[in-house]
Amino acid sequence: MRITVSGLPGSGTTSLARYLAQEHGLSLISAGEVFRQLAREHGMDIAAFGTYAENDPSVDRMIDARQKEIGEGTDDVVVEGRLSGWMIGNADLKVWLIASLSCRARRIAGRDQLDEEAASALTLARQRSEATRYRRYYDIDINDISPYDMVLSSEKWSVVELGAIVDAALSLVGK
C-alpha cells in the first residue's frame, strides 16, 4: 500500500502521515523533514533556506527525486510532502489536507515558538517561495489538486478522525 499526504504548510500533513504509518505499520518518507534538516545543516531557518532553494534548483530536485524513487519503489509506505501526490504516480491513495491560514499559522506558531503574526507572515512567504519553485522546476501549480483522490479539512477533523476517514477510503481501494 502506498499513501501520499500533501497540503500547505501547517495543514497537518506530517501529523496525519505519522498517524497512518503507525496505525498501519508503514514506513514514512517526509520531504518536509528532509527540507528542515537541510535548512539546519546550512544554518538557515525554513524561510531563508526556501530563498536559497529558489536560486539552487538542485535542493528541490534532489529531495523530490529521492522521494519519488523511494515512494514508488517501496511497498507499504506513507509519503508526506507538498508534491508527493504529483511525484508518486503509483500511489494507492493520494490525500490533500486543507486548513485556513489562521489555523495553519496557529499550529506553526506553537510548533516553532513564534507569535501568530510572525508565523502567518513566514507561512505566506514559504508558500510563495514553494509555488514559484514548483512552477519553475516542474510546471506544477501547487493550487491544482487534481492528482489527489481526497481533499480533507484538518481544521474540521482531528488526526484520529482524519485517519478514520482515510481508513474508510483505503478499505475501498482496489474494489
Count up the domains in the chain and report the number: 1
2-7 and 77-80 beta bridge pairing: parallel
Check which CATH number belongs to the domain holding 35 and give it.
3.40.50.300
Q: What is the pTM of this model?
A: 0.88
List the alpha helices (DSSP H) in 42-173.
Answer: 46-55, 58-73, 84-87, 101-112, 116-138, 159-170
Is there a domain that residue 122 lies in? yes
pLDDT tens sequence across 18-57:
999 999 999 999 987 777 888 888 899 877 888 888 888 8
> Mind listing the pLDDT tens digit for each residue in 84-136?
999 999 999 999 999 999 999 999 999 888 999 999 999 999 899 899 989 99
Domain range holding 152?
Answer: 2-166
CA distances from 163 to 14, 23, 136, 169 (A): 12, 9, 33, 10
Residue 167: CB atoms within 10 Å: 12
